[in-house]
Amino acid sequence: MASVPVVQNILKLLNIETEEISFKRQEISNDTETVQAIYMMRQDIDRETALKLNPYIVQDDIQTIMSNLDAEEISGLSGMDALQRVIDEQRQDE
- Which tens digit of pLDDT belongs to each residue from 54-68? 999 899 999 998 988
**pTM for this prediction:** 0.51
Q: How far is CA 21 from the centre of its chain?
A: 29
Q: What is the residue type of 19?
A: E
pLDDT score, position 9: 83
Residues, the chain? 94
Residue-wise pLDDT tens digits, 58-94: 999 999 989 888 887 877 766 667 667 777 777 787 6
